Amino acid sequence: MHHMLHIKNGIVIDPKNGIKAEKMDIFVKEGKIVEESEIDKSQCKVIDASNKLVVAGGVDMHAHIAGSKINTGRTMRPEEMRMVRQIANKFRATVGRVLLTSPAIGYEYAKMGYTTSFEAAQPPIGALHTHEELDAIPMVDKAALPVFGNWHFVLKYVAEKDIEKLKTFIAWAIERTKGFGVKVVNPGGVEAWMYGKNCRNLDDEVPNFGITPREIITSLIKATEELNLCHSVHLHCNNLGNPGNFETTIETMKLANGFSNDKRQVLHVTHVQFNAYAGSSWRDVGSGAAEIAKYVNSVDNITIDMGAAIFGHATAMTGDAPFQFTLHKLLNARWSNKDSEIEGGAGIVPLMYLPKNPVHALQWAIGLELGLLIDSDKVVLTTDFPNGGPFTEYPYVMAMLMSKKMREKELEKVSPFVQKAANLPSIETEKSLEEVIHMTRDLPARILGLENKGHLGVGADADIAIYNLNPNEIDASNDYELINKAFRNALYTIKGGTIIVKDGQLVEEVWGTTYWVDATKNVDMKAIEDDLNEYFDLYYSIEKENYGVEEAWIKNPTRLVMG
């Protein structure tokens, strides 16, 4: 289905290549963006993009879109399935309000002009399930980040201060799970939870291992950098969801001092909204976003994503089991707890963010503060789907970042608690359209190490979105409703050169690729063979031979070799 395409007269914003709302043509051949000289214009399908915004397809670098967690979430919320999104015609029937079924995830991203999404927390033993679900998501390119922060092998090698074995283990694990990089969730804390404890501070000891989160994080950064993986450590901090935790977050970020990488950050701290609370209890809770922003802006080896909270339905699902139990007690809501072998554990709690609830209103404000106060080259737009809310609300967040007027209007609807507990009411900053495109396209692509994504330069994948918006005529500050509307439904979404959405409607189903990272040639597997055999014999319910995923089982894999 690869057409040659000639996208004519569009107004292009391509921050990576320094193109700021310039009228230009884009040419596509065999799924890539090419020079004009490489195509035969008479053979091209022409798309007239006059006075329309043309940008790269959106990249969601942190969402929970596949694997056992979201399935358990769907099971716990049968009411989700009342919302029918699409009756089957030539596309799949889809349902779901926030916890969308797999095909719906791909379709809804595509309608918004997003073409890539990464599953952010994959229990390694559940890798096959995760890949089966990723394979059921059409339209987008994808990958999964396996979790390492509470895996006994990691804790053992950190305790032994054996970085070589740790590196070897990471390479083995990413290959077996066909994963993309090193995700860390509440390091040490989930292991402590097995004993009814938690690691809320960097120096709390992990039971039975005599190590601390500080050591786990530092060792994983060192190992990841030495392996030269395309993505950095991707960290969900300790002490999530507790008043006063902004200090833990800043302390954690300081662990990246002394590490640097000329291509990318050395630490990506995720869904920081949940880790940006000041105060000592839920009574005097406030925003710590300004302090976090000050720190992130002062260093150049850290990036974050927002984890913005959206009013309405959500479902908390994280590999942070102790946090979910706390939430369950706080909300008196349904709760599920999961333990994955010797690798970690997760929890799930359905919830709703209510504008008049003081804490929820504060969470909503903090997510936006992070997006406004942090340098646009260091903060990615996310809602930590479905934890902060649905990814289908990204256009709302984009418009909010661009318009102080819109924020003032929205602030009138929320709990007055925000006026004293948050900075949002006094923030004058308005991000430009170019900055918001950067935060949703080339910045997440750069953070993940995907060189062909997020931009429209020659050689890039032809993942392109065209919106009904003329950047040269719009005043986002006043026309916020238009921004919110335009980004919800792309005029065109083009995936790998195929038109998949036209006028906000699906027109073609495609199956993206699943990226995975192979770093095995940097290490000698023999170094950990005995340890693997011992642990599989003693602790696992599955034989080592049956562990993991073969590349041939994945619908459309792309192997990225790390040399």
Enclosing H/E stretch for 56: strand 53-56
Helices and strands (H and E) in the chain: how many: 18, 26
Distance CA 193, CA 215 (A): 18
| Total number of domains constituting the chain | 1
- What confidence score (pLDDT) does residue 338 get? 82
Distance CA 473, CA 504 (A): 22
Q: What is the mean pLDDT of the chain?
A: 95
- Give the range of the structural domain holding residue 157, as residue numbers without chain letter: 58-448
Banded model confidence at residue 2, pLDDT cuts 50, 70, 90:
low
Banded model confidence at residue 410, pLDDT cuts 50, 70, 90:
very high
Residue 388 has pLDDT above 60, yes or no: yes
Residue 269 has pLDDT above 60, yes or no: yes
Distance CA 399, CA 43 (A): 38
Enclosing H/E stretch for 293: helix 289-298
Chain position carrying tokens 């003693």: 538
Model confidence, pTM: 0.96
In 3D, which of 375, 371, 424 has the Cα closest to residue 399?
371
In 3D, which of 147, 151, 226 has the Cα closest to residue 185?
147
Say if CB 447 and CB 61 are below 8 A apart: yes
Cα 352 from chain centre:
21
Q: What angle do CA 262, 461, 100 make, to 5 degrees?
A: 100
99, part of any domain = yes
For 7-56, the pLDDT digits (tens) are: 999 999 999 999 999 999 999 999 999 999 999 989 999 999 999 999 99
DSSP character at residue 239: T
Mean pLDDT of 518-536: 96
Q: What's the CATH number where 276 sits?
A: 3.20.20
- What confidence score (pLDDT) does residue 430 get? 98
Say if CB 501 and CB 110 are below 8 A apart: yes
- What confidence score (pLDDT) does residue 446 get? 98
In 3D, which of 310, 442, 283, 329 has the Cα closest to residue 388?
310
For 67-100, the pLDDT digits (tens) are: 888 888 888 888 888 888 888 778 998 988 899 9
- Going through 222-320 in order, the beta strands assigned E by DSSP cover 233-236, 267-269, 277-278, 286-287, 302-305, 312-318
Residue 547 has pLDDT above 70, yes or no: yes
27, part of any domain = no
91-100 long-range CB contacts below 8 Å, 24 or more apart?
91/506, 91/509, 92/138, 97/313, 98/312, 98/313, 98/314, 98/315, 98/386, 98/389, 98/390, 99/70, 99/73, 99/74, 99/315, 99/386
462, part of any domain = no
Residue 1 has pLDDT above 70, yes or no: no
Residue 4 has pLDDT above 70, yes or no: yes
335, part of any domain = yes
532, part of any domain = no
546, part of any domain = no
Top-confidence residue, 317 or 454: 454
Residue 321 has pLDDT above 90, yes or no: no
CB atoms closer than 10 angstroms to residue 393: 21
Q: What is the CA radius of gyration of the chain?
A: 22
Enclosing H/E stretch for 185: strand 183-185
Q: What percent of the chain has pLDDT over 90?
A: 87
Say if CB 277 and CB 242 are below 8 A apart: yes
Q: What percent of the chain has pLDDT over 70?
A: 100
- What confidence score (pLDDT) does residue 395 get? 98
In 3D, which of 138, 102, 141, 55 has the Cα closest to residue 507?
138
**For the chain, how many residues are written?**
563
Q: What angle do CA 383, 389, 395 make, to 5 degrees?
A: 65
Mean pLDDT of 143-147: 98
373, part of any domain = yes
CA distances from 534 to 537, 538, 539 (A): 5, 6, 8
93, part of any domain = yes
Q: Quick check: helix, strand or coil at residue 320?
A: strand
CB atoms closer than 10 angstroms to residue 59: 26
Point out the least confidently predicted range of 89-98, 414-423, 429-438, 448-457.
89-98
Banded model confidence at residue 376, pLDDT cuts 50, 70, 90:
very high
- What confidence score (pLDDT) does residue 76 get? 87
Sign of CA dihedral 484, 488, 489, 490: positive
- What confidence score (pLDDT) does residue 7 get? 98
